[in-house]
Every structure is written in C-alpha cells, then in structure tokens.
C-alpha cells in the first residue's frame, strides 16, 4: 500500500485485486497542485498532467507518488489569463 500523495490520470481504473501490486488509496490521489510563479510571486491552483521525475527512484515515478523534490508537469494555459485579474503585488 502506498502511504504518500499520488497522482493518477483522469481515466485511471484499478486492476482486479488479484493482479494489483500497489494499492493507491483514493484519499491520497491528487489532481491539482499549488504552483508559485517566480516572477509574479502569485500562487495558482493548477491541474497536474503527470509526474516527470521522483528523486526517490523510478518506481515512485511510475506509480505517480509525489514527495519532496518531485518534478511534476502542470497545465498552465490559464495562468496568464488569471495573473492579470487575481494577482496582487506582495508587500
């Protein structure tokens, strides 16, 4: 059983229990991430597309486990539209 936050795609279906090697609980499955823009200094809640690399190893990367230092791919198409309306300068 995986006890860390994980990402699974929108079309994910579990294998039958007989063939399931790793169990990813539904309460630990995440679809969105808070991402901070370095220049605007604003935080956006963006959808995760996939896990690119996990520093703990290729097994964690293939399972979609999100730990400290994990590189994730996010959908940032709406970032620029939102930045003009919702970002306020930090003082």
Question: Per residue in 14-64, pLDDT tens?
Answer: 888 888 888 888 889 999 988 887 887 888 888 899 999 999 999 999 999
Round to whole Å and give the CA distance between 36 and 5: 19
Quote the pLDDT of residue 38. Answer: 81
Task: Note the pLDDT of residue 82.
Answer: 53
Quote the pTM value.
Answer: 0.76
Top-confidence residue, 72 or 38: 72
Nearest to 48 by CA among 10, 22, 83: 10
Task: State residue 43's pLDDT score.
Answer: 84
Q: pLDDT value at position 76?
A: 78
């Amino acid at each position: 059983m995986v006890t860390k936050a994980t990402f699974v795609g929108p079309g994910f279906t579990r294998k039958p229990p007989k063939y399931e090697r790793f169990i990813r609980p539904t309460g630990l499955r995440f679809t969105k991430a808070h991402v901070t823009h370095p220049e605007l200094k604003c935080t956006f809640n963006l959808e995760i597309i996939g896990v690119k690399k996990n520093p703990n190893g290729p097994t964690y990367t293939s399972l979609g486990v999100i730990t400290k230092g994990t590189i994730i791919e996010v959908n940032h198409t709406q970032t620029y539209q939102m930045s003009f309306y919702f970002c306020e300068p930090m003082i």
